[in-house]
Chain A
Amino acid sequence: SYVLTQPPSVSVAPGQTARITCGGNNIGSKSVHWYQQKPGQAPVLVVYDDSDRPSGIPERFSGSNSGNTATLTISRVEAGDEADYYCQVWDSSSDHQVFGGGTKLTVL
């Protein structure tokens, strides 16, 4: 089955740029989606189809996808961005949705 690998944690100072990676075999050929989840809350979609943003999501959130790595980039990080972030793809070979293990973003 398809596996998505994320770093367990990423730390960044306020105002800096956070980059969260999502690794998978030839992930560049798939559409990658990203969710933000704050403690005690349901996940929120922040980036879909590699780099598109749902309405209401700040432009500070962006995404890219190439080769074996997709990346969620958060510019000008704010304290309120502290959360867990998950990548997701549809694996057509197994007809399964697949989530990465999640990355905890800490704002120092």
Chain B
Amino acid sequence: EVQLVESGGGLVKPGGSLRLSCAASGFTFSSYSMNWVRQAPGKGLEWVSSISSSSSYIYYADSVKGRFTISRDNAKNSLYLQMNSLRAEDTAVYYCARGTTVVTPADYWGQGTLVTVSS
């Protein structure tokens, strides 16, 4: 069974940093692209970042480029999102999601981790 479990969310002050993790199991992690998608309270889905299976291709939404860094450790079956210079508008539930490639849809999603940016 495919499982994606996010962790690392919490309350952080504006300008602060946070690192999210996503632990994957039930599939060959190194064969799949991975994505981060967020959802602000009461709002729609917003794509954040994608990384190819070997980390050769990495893409970011304009709203986070230069502040967030996506990475993965295939030996640990883990996906990460380093978030720096956080703003109030980054407050959201952050989902990790699996894709076959960076251009294909996300067929499995984790349950999400809440990030709250507030003073």
Report which A residues bind B (CB closer than 8 A).
1, 33, 35, 37, 41-45, 48, 54, 84, 86, 88, 90, 92, 95-102
- Tally B residues with Cβ within 8 Å of A: 22
Query: Which of the residues B35, B44, B107 comes within 8 Å of A97, measured between beta carbons?
Result: B35
The secondary-structure label for the interface of chain A is strand
Is there contact, CB below 8 Å, between B45 and A1?
no
The secondary-structure label for the interface of chain B is strand
Of B8-16, B18-26, B70-78, B109-117, which stretch is located at the interface? B109-117
Query: Which of the residues A44, A45, A48, A102 comes within 8 Å of B45, measured between beta carbons?
Result: A102
Judged by a CB distance under 8 angstroms, whether B1 is at the interface is no
Smallest CB separation, B56 vs chain A (Å)? 13
Query: Which of the residues B35, B103, B104, B110 comes within 8 Å of A42, measured between beta carbons?
Result: B110
Q: A37-B45, A42-B109, A96-B59 are in contact. List 16 more A-B contacts (CB 8 A).
A: A1-B62, A33-B105, A42-B110, A43-B106, A48-B104, A48-B107, A84-B44, A88-B47, A88-B105, A92-B103, A97-B35, A97-B37, A98-B47, A99-B44, A100-B44, A101-B44
